[in-house]
Structure 1
Amino acid sequence: MKRLVILGGGESGVGAALLGKAKGYDVFLSDKGKIKDKYKDVLNYNEIEFEDGHHTEAKILNADLVMKSPGIPDKSPLVKQIRNKGILVVSEIELAAKYTKANIIGVTGSNGKTTTATLIHHILKEELEVGLSGNIGKSFAQQVLEQDYPNYVLEISSFQLDDIVDFKPHIAILLNITPDHLDRYDYKFENYIASKFRIALNQTKDDYLIYDADDEVINDWLKSNKVQSTLLPFSLTKTIENGAYLDKEEIKITIDNNQIIMPTNNLTLEGKHNIKNQMAASTVAHLLKIRKQTIRESLENFQGVEHRLEHVLKINKVQYINDSKATNVNATYYALESMESPTIWIVGGVDKGNNYKELFQFVNEKVKAIICLGVDNEKLMETFGTMVDTVVETQFMSEAVKIAYKLAETGDTVLLSPACASFDLFESYEDRGRQFKDAVRSL
């Protein structure tokens, strides 16, 4: 019996453990931190051996295969030991994909993954049986075990792509590439770029790569590297023969001389970046022969995702917006770009080597006050201190929201768009977003 060791007892780890056991592996799961009770219950119920609070090397280094959670870096001494022993290390998507014949649509990019993957699923589910997984919701491995849909939309991070071997989506979407997570890539942007392009690594000419033709980084990489897949670019500025582009107020999508046209005037998601997300999603739907009417209606009734430019409440004619999912500068760029009124901006958290320069134009134009919410706000204070009249710092969400409430005047917007990870003060970006919404509701 082959031994499968799983590092990390979160959603993907526990899902992989269940699938591994069902497929006849001797499974052992190990987590250096604390495993949540709900996951322990599942492991106990299924009689899967596990440990938390530490790693027992003797029980790990005898593995035939190791699946590691995307949160564990390759630099960790244990992972190095495993690799030195010649044991194969894979991600959950690699493991789960082996056990399904489903048509896989993989979505990656520095920003917009969740929105685009959720939107694709929202359109496809009207006419196809389709699961949504990867970085969202119930783990891919568990869905393969329990539902095994004929189609899956997977939101895939670079960390998950780092540990694929044979994994190949039939349709890959690469939304954009901007510097993010550089702490995991030796602070080399080119390493991170190569990691994102792994989504097309195993594709053949019968597969598709949908990508942003306005993204310089993507274009440059494609000029000097070969991909096998059929390319379907999308653009806001160029005319695209095979793919999607914006022509005045309409999205035009052409695949094999078959064109569909989508008006953009009734779309629910605002902002230029969302037109791109909608182009990518509509291209997938058109490829999979979804009816034009279905695509149009789905785009018009899509509600967006939680913590992404989410309108929370209007109080005294001040709009409060939760964009906690903006964990990097580029995401915050989109948020500030779409602001149309004087903005009080709540920013800060764990800085992943951020360069805030690209935000200067919007901060000068639109931001009237900055509230720094982090354990260490020094870099933010230095960067923006002279740009706006009011810069305040705090380490409590409730206090940040109260300060914003005091500073705001009729017609202003209060925007939580941190541009940073959340782990200094919060459990996750979701926890941060919910605390913001709770604080706003209790004003």
Structure 2
Amino acid sequence: MKLLLKSFKILIYSLLIVSTCAITVFAHDRIDYGQDKHYRYENLLGQYAQLAVRKNVTDLTQREKTAFVKAIKTLKTVIPAGSKLSIYDQFVAIHLGATRLIHNHKGHSDGSVQELAHENAAFFPWHREYIRRFEQALQAVDRTVTLPYWDWTDAKALDVIFNDDFLGSNGQGVTIKIPNQGNFTGGPVPGAFSAANGWVMNPALNIDPDTGISLGTSLVRFLRLPPASNYPVPKKDIERVLALNDYSLFRPALEGFISVDEQGKVTPGGFIHNYIHGLVGGVQIDASTTPITFKSLGTMSNIPSSPYDPVFWLHHANADRLWAEWQDNGHKGSDFYPPDGHSQPYGHNLKDLMWPWDGGMSNPKATALGDLLSLLPKFNSDDLVRPLDVLNHRKLGYTYQTWENQPRR
């Protein structure tokens, strides 16, 4: 009985810490930098005895896997005071909101909906800030947890990630027949990340961006469904992207909207980052239409709500790792990012504020299922972040296993 009471007290204490974390991550205490109210992470580095190290997922111990899953499931359970959503669902709502913003700042808005998190320059800085805040939320549950990364060139990674002892298997229960290729299985994911075991997705957040129709409450995977069936990603493809010197090519090549061959020829399509979303979630292609149409089948391939699949965080940790590697290899600082001004859509230029850390200058457009704004966490008006502020990942307090023995730069 004493042991049960002690365990209960520990659980209550953990939940209090996580609830406090929600306030800390979403609404930082004000830091006064005089005329410049933007956050300067270098001022916070003194709080870290050392940089947190993000490890390759294939190198995680079983204890580290268990701690990561436990922390994620805790965030999925805890609902902060005054919120309609769990902490985890709030992060999903932020990602969804970033795909449908209306910017209200005088001189920049025509009332049109903008995409902040994808398809333009801020893809990397926005996701760097986003996944770092998620990592901080995990660390409020267990300070030893960091985001592992999924090296897409590692053939072993699929068996490690999509395993019942970690992030769950492929989906089950649905068979899709593809002419000349055979039958393929997918569907709702069983086990620890099933709806029956508490991994329930909010139907107002898990929506088709084109139709606004809810995609349900279950995590769905169609792993390696053709045409997104080739794995691993060839190392030469990654090396070719890392060899690009111009951010205007590097970003769309790694995000996956273009490929660049050895002769420098640019081909549009769905590659690398975008391809991996399809590899996990599954995509059907209808070549009979003009233009060709794509249908997302699973959670990861439905980009706005893709963080509902926990593999999202490993996927984006790797994208961030490769950007950091590119930066370390002669592309550091603001000279290798679109300059300040209006060359990019608002939110993507060097000194533009990035929603939701923009002091309320933008708001997400309502979906067909309701107002997103009421579901989002509250951010302090001076919680401000620009691409300029996140160009150095080490100043955010973390590094990657690849470089843990290298001196800080």
Q: Taking structure 2 as the reference length, what is the TM-score of the superposition?
A: 0.27
Which protein is bigger by CA-based radius of gyration? 1
Q: Taking structure 1 as the reference length, what is the TM-score of the superposition?
A: 0.25
**Which has the bigger relative contact order, CA under 8 A and spacing at least 6?**
2
Higher strand share goes to which structure? 1
